Amino acid sequence: MQLEVLDEKDRDRLLGPYKKVQQWIKHTRNATSPHFDNVHNILMKVKEKLKNKPLMEANHGGARDIEKRLRSRI
């Protein structure tokens, strides 16, 4: 299920040829509903944050931010 975090194109490329895997995911989703959907909603939020993180670090000097965190722990 961690493949849900991948880009749609990559996920389809990996799972597309495997109909049994797609069927298993569907059955798992139905059997564990609503918990499956709740967890995957959280995963999608994390996916968006991870997608935007490199952009934010480039704009705000991410290296300096990491240095500040390290100094505060020392």
Q: Which two tokens stand for residue 15?
A: 């799972």
**Cα distance between residue 21 and residue 24, in whole Å:** 5
Q: Which two tokens stand for residue 48?
A: 């968006």
Sign of CA dihedral 31, 12, 48, 54: positive
Q: How is the chain split into domains, by residue range?
A: 2-73
More reliable by pLDDT, 11 or 3: 11
Q: What is the pLDDT of residues 6-37, one digit of tens each?
A: 778 888 888 888 899 889 888 988 998 888 88
- In DSSP notation, 7-29 reads -HHHHHHHHTT-HHHHHHHHHHH
Q: What is the pLDDT of residues 30-68, one digit of tens each?
A: 998 888 888 888 888 888 888 777 665 655 555 566 666
